[in-house]
């Protein structure tokens, strides 16, 4: 898919370095697609070590003045940025749809979550407060003060091109750090747009930089001596690699990784509420969410009725462009990713799961339901498997597509045990009307983002994104107070006068 020549009709993105757009040093580019039509909408340069050097040098040069800027002034720039994000809200949501394919409603939700991160960061004067204890000994006082680290590198995935970078950028900047973002090469357009808005908001040149690229670009960032910390969000194998490599180069790292989220449904659950929540969790954003529920654990007698209702509801999801208000589910990100998902569906069949609904054979072969989406788009209809066992690949591995597996168990304990066998621990939900069952679930489940009668336990700016097990590598999570700690060092001062 890599090309060296660009289609003359489609522009090639540029890097943002020291407040100005720059042509890349790298000559290789990759096409960026509209997943709903398969059309090439841009080319993204695959930045090399020289591109990374330039961006990091700009961020390093901007650091002394930026960290010396009073925190209220740093926050004030974010207030301006907030105003611009609100003013361009719809445009940004449509851009997310264009490069990612999700529905406009989903994209609006994503932009809103990103804005909430800016709102949280605007409270920096309070969030950055240190602590003081007087008279730790007679006439001796002790206090802690927070300091920014320096240059932070952010590396982000394709599935939330607005929200995930905003888990990092507002807080890192308001703490006094400077930043180099390497957005996903599959969805780089949102980053280009909000970078312009940051500049328009009054951010000094070099405080925020964008270097486009892929694997080699990331490697250059991880190994760069002037990068102090790395915030990464992406798939599990890459997260593990980023964590090890950046740590080996002496950097602070937080690496948020993949998932296999279980949704436990008890016999006392209100199915009228549970079914739409499960459908939205499994098939929202075409299953391309790290908080997507991908395994339903049906407890006791609920299974038959639950599967019947899930099948009906999934059949009602209309495939199409995310910009069409009738669309229930958009395309997946790329044709090769669709092939990968189809491969998992084939393995589910081969390993003996019961096919309830097969997204590879529905409709016209592109698998759509209802009105035909663009045949060149990367569409794949919902798939549901029943009587899946925890050993099957479809129950164990992150598919990151519209595939839902139902595992049948007899008791809540058995259901929790099934979920806890997963090497991932990003999120889990329970559907029940029993407070005692919900509490047992909360206490025993080995996952960090929990939902009770909620299909997607969405992250909030003021709490940490608390992935467990192989869904997270590091110590301090993204967002909330964890992020303030991640983006700062402390001095502890003991004084006698
Ligand atoms: P990905 O791992 O392919 O890419 C993420 C970033 O890493 C991109 O910027 C990419 O350019 C870079 N990258 C890819 N391969 C690399 C390599 N070999 N070496 C160095 N860098 C590399 O992830 P994706 O497909 O863009 O995103 C989907 C994944 O992200 C899913 O696994 C999903 O669960 C995960 N995710 C997790 C969270 C979370 O909060 N835990 C949130 C969103 C997405």
Does the CB atom of residue 156 touch ligand 1 within 6 A? yes
Confidence band (pLDDT; 50, 70, 90) for 6?
Answer: very low
Residue 3 has pLDDT above 60, yes or no: no
Alpha carbons 313 and 301: distance in angstroms, whole number = 20
- Give the number of the atom of ligand 1 that is nearest the alpha carbon of residue 184: 9
Residue with tokens 């806890």: 420
CA-nearest residue, atom 30 of ligand 1: 234
In a domain, 1, yes or no: no
- Which positions ≥6 away from 3 have C-beta within 8 Å? 28, 29, 30, 31, 43
Q: Where on the phi/psi map is residue 363: left (φ > 0), alpha (ψ -120 to 50), or beta?
A: left
Does the CB atom of residue 401 touch ligand 1 within 6 A? no
**What 8-state DSSP symbol labels residue 478?**
B
- Give the number of the atom of ligand 1 that is nearest the alpha carbon of residue 478: 40
23 lies in the same domain as 135: yes
* Annotated catalytic residue, options 122, 142, 175, 290: 290
Is the CB of residue 456 less than 8 Å from the CB of residue 281? Answer: yes
185 lies in the same domain as 287: no
**What 8-state DSSP symbol labels residue 324?**
S
Q: Which of 46, 238, 292, 457 to mutate to test the pocket of ligand 1 (most atoms within 8 A of CB)?
A: 238
Residue 58 sits in a domain of what CATH number? 3.40.605.10
Alpha carbons 381 and 366: distance in angstroms, whole number = 8
pLDDT in tens, 325-380: 999 999 999 999 999 999 999 999 999 999 999 999 864 444 445 556 899 999 99
Residue 342 sits in a domain of what CATH number? 3.40.309.10
In a domain, 465, yes or no: no
Pairing of strands 178-182, 208-210: parallel
Specify the pLDDT at position 369.
52
Residues 465-474, mean pLDDT to the nearest whole number:
98
106 lies in the same domain as 131: yes
Specify the pLDDT at position 140.
98
Is the CB of residue 180 less than 8 Å from the CB of residue 211? Answer: yes
Specify the pLDDT at position 372.
64
pLDDT in tens, 258-293: 999 999 999 999 999 999 999 999 999 999 999 999
Residue 272 buriedness (CB in 10 A; 0-12 / 13-18 / 19+): exposed
Alpha carbons 379 and 150: distance in angstroms, whole number = 43
138 lies in the same domain as 183: yes
In a domain, 460, yes or no: no
pLDDT in tens, 209-234: 999 999 999 999 999 999 999 999 99
237 lies in the same domain as 348: no
- Which positions ≥6 away from 206 have C-beta within 8 Å? 17, 18, 19, 58, 59, 61, 62, 178
Does the CB atom of residue 423 touch ligand 1 within 6 A? no
- Which positions ≥6 away from 312 have C-beta within 8 Å? none
Alpha carbons 489 and 478: distance in angstroms, whole number = 16
The residue ranking higher by pLDDT, 359 or 8, is 359
Residue 89 buriedness (CB in 10 A; 0-12 / 13-18 / 19+): middle
In a domain, 382, yes or no: yes
Q: Which of 114, 190, 234, 477 to mutate to test the pocket of ligand 1 (most atoms within 8 A of CB)?
A: 234
241 lies in the same domain as 351: no
Alpha carbons 232 and 195: distance in angstroms, whole number = 18
C-alpha distances in Å from residue 98, one per residue of 26, 33, 188: 26, 8, 11
**Domain containing residue 409:** 261-452
Q: What percent of the chain has pLDDT over 90?
A: 96
**Structure tokens given for 43:** 């080319």
249 lies in the same domain as 275: no
In a domain, 358, yes or no: yes
Q: In what order do the strands lie in the sheet with 132-137?
A: 132-137, 140-148, 488-496
Specify the pLDDT at position 86.
98
C-alpha distances in Å from residue 105, one per residue of 109, 112, 162, 280, 315: 6, 11, 14, 12, 20
Is the CB of residue 430 less than 8 Å from the CB of residue 264? Answer: yes
In a domain, 23, yes or no: yes
Mean pLDDT rounded to a whole number for the chain: 96
Specify the pLDDT at position 41.
98
352-373: b or e for each residue (b if 16 or more CB lie within 10 Å)? ebeebbbbbebeeebbbbbeeb
380 lies in the same domain as 405: yes
Q: Cβ of 148: how many Cβ atoms within 10 Å?
A: 22
pLDDT in tens, 79-120: 999 999 999 999 999 999 999 999 999 999 999 999 999 999
311 lies in the same domain as 430: yes
248 lies in the same domain as 270: no
Helix axes 71-87, 89-100, angle to 10 degrees: 70
pLDDT in tens, 455-466: 999 999 999 999
**Structure tokens given for 339:** 């092939």
**Is 290 in the active site?**
yes
Specify the pLDDT at position 8.
57
In a domain, 461, yes or no: no
- Give the number of the atom of ligand 1 that is nearest the alpha carbon of residue 219: 20
pLDDT in tens, 383-437: 999 999 999 999 999 999 999 999 999 999 999 999 999 999 999 999 999 999 9
Name which of 486, 496, 494 is nearest 229 in CA terms: 486
362 lies in the same domain as 420: yes
- Which positions ≥6 away from 303 have C-beta within 8 Å? 386, 406, 408
CA-nearest residue, atom 31 of ligand 1: 235
Does the CB atom of residue 30 touch ligand 1 within 6 A? no
Q: What percent of the chain has pLDDT over 70?
A: 96
Alpha carbons 33 and 101: distance in angstroms, whole number = 10
280 lies in the same domain as 422: yes
CA-nearest residue, atom 18 of ligand 1: 215
The Å distance, Cα 232 to ligand 1 centre, comes to 8
Alpha carbons 308 and 306: distance in angstroms, whole number = 5
Query: In the chain, how many domains are there?
Result: 2
Residue 79 buriedness (CB in 10 A; 0-12 / 13-18 / 19+): middle
Backbone φ and ψ for 219, nearest 5 degrees, come out as -60, -45
**Structure tokens given for 249:** 């180069």
In a domain, 8, yes or no: no
Does the CB atom of residue 222 touch ligand 1 within 6 A? no
Is the CB of residue 208 less than 8 Å from the CB of residue 200? Answer: no
- Give the number of the atom of ligand 1 that is nearest the alpha carbon of residue 185: 11
- Give the number of the atom of ligand 1 that is nearest the alpha carbon of residue 258: 34
pLDDT in tens, 23-56: 999 999 999 999 999 999 999 999 999 999 999 9
Specify the pLDDT at position 366.
44
Is the CB of residue 323 less than 8 Å from the CB of residue 274? Answer: no
């Amino acid at each position: 898919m890599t090309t060296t020549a660009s289609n003359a009709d489609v522009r090639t993105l540029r890097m943002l370095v020291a407040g100005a757009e720059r042509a890349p040093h790298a000559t290789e580019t990759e096409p960026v697609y509209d997943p709903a039509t398969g059309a090439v909408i841009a080319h993204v340069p695959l930045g090399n070590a020289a591109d990374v050097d330039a961006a990091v040098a700009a961020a390093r040069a901007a650091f002394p003045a930026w960290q010396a800027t009073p925190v209220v002034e740093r926050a004030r720039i974010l207030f301006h940025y907030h105003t611009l994000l609100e003013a361009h809200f719809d445009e940004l949501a449509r851009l997310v749809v264009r490069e990612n394919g999700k529905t406009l409603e989903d994209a609006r939700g994503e932009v809103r979550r990103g804005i909430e991160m800016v709102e949280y960061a605007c409270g920096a004067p309070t969030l950055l407060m240190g602590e003081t204890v007087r008279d730790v000994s007679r006439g001796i006082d002790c206090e802690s003060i927070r300091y920014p680290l320096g240059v932070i590198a952010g590396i982000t995935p394709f599935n939330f091109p607005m929200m995930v970078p905003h888990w990092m950028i507002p807080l890192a900047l308001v703490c006094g750090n400077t930043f180099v973002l390497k957005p996903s090469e599959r969805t780089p357009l949102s980053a280009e747009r909000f970078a312009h808005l940051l500049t328009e908001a009054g951010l000094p040149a070099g405080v925020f930089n964008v270097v486009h690229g892929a694997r080699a670009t990331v490697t250059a960032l991880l190994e760069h001596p002037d990068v102090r910390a790395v915030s990464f969000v992406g798939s599990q194998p890459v997260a593990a690699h980023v964590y090890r490599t950046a740590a080996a180069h002496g950097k602070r790292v937080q690496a948020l990784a993949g998932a296999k989220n279980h949704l436990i449904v008890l016999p006392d659950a209100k199915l009228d509420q549970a079914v739409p929540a499960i459908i939205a969790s499994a098939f929202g954003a075409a299953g391309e969410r790290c908080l997507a529920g991908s395994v339903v654990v049906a407890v006791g007698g609920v299974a038959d009725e639950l599967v019947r209702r899930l099948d009906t509801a999934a059949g009602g999801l209309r495939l199409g462009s995310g910009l069409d208000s009738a669309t229930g589910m958009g395309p997946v990100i790329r044709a090769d990713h669709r092939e990968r998902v189809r491969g998992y569906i084939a393995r589910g069949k081969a390993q003996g799961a019961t096919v309830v609904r097969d997204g590879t054979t529905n409709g016209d072969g592109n698998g759509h339901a209802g009105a035909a989406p663009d045949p060149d788009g990367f569409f794949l209809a919902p798939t549901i498997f029943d009587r899946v066992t925890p050993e099957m690949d479809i129950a164990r591995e992150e598919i990151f597509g519209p595939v839902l597996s139902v595992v049948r168990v007899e008791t809540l304990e058995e259901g929790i045990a099934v979920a806890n066998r997963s090497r991932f621990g990003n999120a889990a939900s329970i559907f029940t009307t029993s407070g005692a069952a919900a509490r047992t679930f909360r206490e025993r489940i080995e996952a960090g983002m929990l939902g009770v009668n909620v299909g997607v336990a969405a992250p909030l700016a003021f709490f940490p994104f608390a992935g467990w097990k192989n869904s997270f590598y590091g110590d301090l999570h993204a967002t909330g107070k964890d992020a303030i700690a991640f983006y700062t060092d402390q001095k502890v001062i003991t004084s006698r006068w």
